[in-house]
Structure 1
């Protein structure tokens, strides 16, 4: 059975990333001109600060230097986090996006913009913002109905602490 380079990289790097208290979210090998770039995306429930990124980057670099999984050519290792407008793919991604505004592509109802209120094993409760002075409405979404979901950047949202004051 043949395994792809991405699968071999995941098998090699996932335990190392996990030992640093992070989740390995994505691995991508891209050829840019004559150079290759290995992009590794990590995250955790608490997020990943610059120190954690630097620590895991050093550990991954050392591990990759010990093996030939990247071949003999030069490559650049880039380690980062998913970013502000991340796509939600795994259950843990939805949990981490609780209280965030998300654009959902639904199997039957088209697009829906809603805030995640609670995530459970079989689905999630969301709040659909009211339009033109109407009150927000609650809605239940089953994970099977969600084709795609992406966190939205909010520039004018008041922090809960500001609202309570």
Structure 2
């Protein structure tokens, strides 16, 4: 998680000598200034344009970007993925790359996010709709619901998928959704390798860097 901000006096901030005047007028003294108002949609567009090539160069896919207000800060959540999924080391790599890109933009006079912001990087999680060929490819073997039916993805290539024994081209697919499967206790394998694999799938935007 990266947190950025600025120090120093802000325009309109009163000196300590002004506090008595504030009290006599019935106004709170030294009220912290609110976060600057920004067009979140416009800022998100600039952020995506800036960080998408950075994420790709690091070897990952940029899946989504969320920008919201969080008190006096702005919260920037970036979702990335790659074949095999991402782990905490991947999150650290992407976080450093994005932070460096935002810092470089500011140093050259092209500040992207005004004021303080907090950066969080994570993976999309299983509730992410399957809409792109890479989404389907990364979920081969899983049970999914799509086009009103539920089946297992047994194969996926550049043209489409195989859902059980049926071949479906991507233009004929709607958004798919992974179905959660619970193993029977007597079938579960609690070996060390499986626990490591489960730990790496840390599920989406709630994970901080």
- Work out whether the TM-score is over 0.5: yes
Which residue of the partner structure matches residue 155 of structure 1?
182
Q: Does 1:69 align with 2:104?
A: no
**Which range moved further: 46-55 or 33-42?**
33-42
Asked which structure has the greater RCO (Cα within 8 Å, sep 6+), the reply is 2
> What is the Cα deviation at residue 101 of structure 1?
0.9
Q: 1:21 aligns with which of 40, 45, 59?
A: 59
Number of residue pairs matched? 141
Which residue of the partner structure matches residue 60 of structure 1?
98
Please give the root-mean-square deviation of Cα atoms over the aligned residues, in Å.
2.0
Q: 1:49 aligns with which of 87, 91, 103?
A: 87
Give the alignment of 1:1-165 within 5 angstroms: 4-67=42-105, 68-71=111-114, 73-104=115-146, 106=147, 111-127=148-164, 138-156=165-183
> What is the Cα deviation at residue 76 of structure 1?
1.1
Matches of 2:158 and 2:97 in 1, distance apart? 33
Q: Which runs of 5+ in 1 are unaligned?
A: 128-137, 160-165
Structure with the larger helix share? 2
Larger radius of gyration: 2
For normalisation by structure 2, the TM-score amounts to 0.61
Which residue of the partner structure matches residue 21 of structure 2?
none
Structure with the larger strand share? 1
For normalisation by structure 1, the TM-score amounts to 0.76
Matches of 1:51 and 1:81 in 2, distance apart? 12
SS in 1 for 2:151: strand
Which residue of the partner structure matches residue 134 of structure 1?
none
SS in 1 for 2:183: coil
Matches of 2:43 and 2:174 in 1, distance apart? 27
Matches of 1:42 and 1:63 in 2, distance apart? 16
> What is the Cα deviation at residue 148 of structure 1?
1.5
Detail structure 1 runs of 4+ shifted over 4 Å in the superposition.
none
> What is the Cα deviation at residue 33 of structure 1?
4.1
